[in-house]
Amino acid sequence: MTESLPAIVVENLTVSYGPKPALLDISLSIDKGLLVGVIGPNGAGKSTFVKAILGFVRRDVGVVKISGIPAEKARGLVAYVPQRGSVDWDFPIQVKEVAMMGRYGAIPWYRNPGRQDWEIVEQSLDMVRMSEFKDRQIGQLSGGQQQRVFMARALAQGSEILLLDEPFAGVDAATERAILDVLEQAKKTGRTLVVVHHDLATAAEYFDRLILIKQRLYAYGPPEAVLREDLLSEVYEGKLRIFSNITRT
């Protein structure tokens, strides 16, 4: 019964870029139905961690399992929302077509998207409140709107697990709250979400669990167990001036 298995299990994960390790011997288990933040300083390996789960970067050693299945055989169970900077926003494609990309894995190569596929796309765009923009070219949207369209694409895939790389980067406070609402709605449907996040001030509010990494795993657990002054001082090497606003007693 996969229902009782963790959503993601990582064992002894090590990834290197040339002679330098980006991740070193990371092991953890993420239960289903959680909203999990990945935090750490710049260059800590946060994005690499997500990409290693997806298989986008080669693992030196280690095992990744998705709902008990080796990650290499579980691609359909995981959807990915990349950083905005990695997307060509000038590409001539409409919002609804971007969302439909999430259905490609479920559509045989010999047929076009059917009515059910378009209904799923409509539902996904409605969930992220982007239905009224479905005929717009993707580059005509604001940064926050673009991010929500790519979240719709991930939702349309129907995956149990969503991995998001810095979805809040470069958006205003209102858009950040809108994106968080989408994440919380997705969580209510039983999905597991792992989110690379840079803002420690909001980490405790946004996430059920936090992963603190800088090449190796320093902590994984509830925010109050991870956002400790001693841990943050060690990981950020004393570069955080104020701890009182981001830690709990």
- At 173, the pLDDT band (50, 70, 90 cuts) reads confident
pLDDT tens column, 23-66? 999 999 999 999 999 999 999 999 999 999 999 999 999 999 99
Query: What's the pLDDT at 3?
Result: 57
Mean pLDDT lowest for which of 100-109, 164-173, 224-233? 100-109
Q: How far is CA 79 from CA 66, 71, 182, 195, in A?
A: 12, 12, 15, 12
Residue 75 has pLDDT above 80, yes or no: no
Query: What's the pLDDT at 240?
Result: 63
Query: What rounded mean pLDDT belongs to the chain?
Result: 89
Domains of the chain, start order? 2-235 (3.40.50.300)
Query: What's the pLDDT at 241?
Result: 54
Q: Of 240 and 188, which is predicted with more confidence?
A: 188
pLDDT tens column, 86-112? 566 677 899 999 999 988 887 777 788
Q: Which residue has the tokens 């999905």?
A: 191
Rounded mean pLDDT, 139-147: 86
| Tokens read off for 218 | 């320093």
Residue 2 has pLDDT above 60, yes or no: no
One-letter amino acid at 108 equals P
| Tokens read off for 151 | 């979240």
Query: What's the pLDDT at 1?
Result: 39
Query: What's the pLDDT at 242?
Result: 47
Give the rounded percent of residues in the chain with a pLDDT score beyond 90. 62
Query: What's the pLDDT at 218?
Result: 97
Backbone angles phi, psi at 141, to 5 degrees: -95, 160
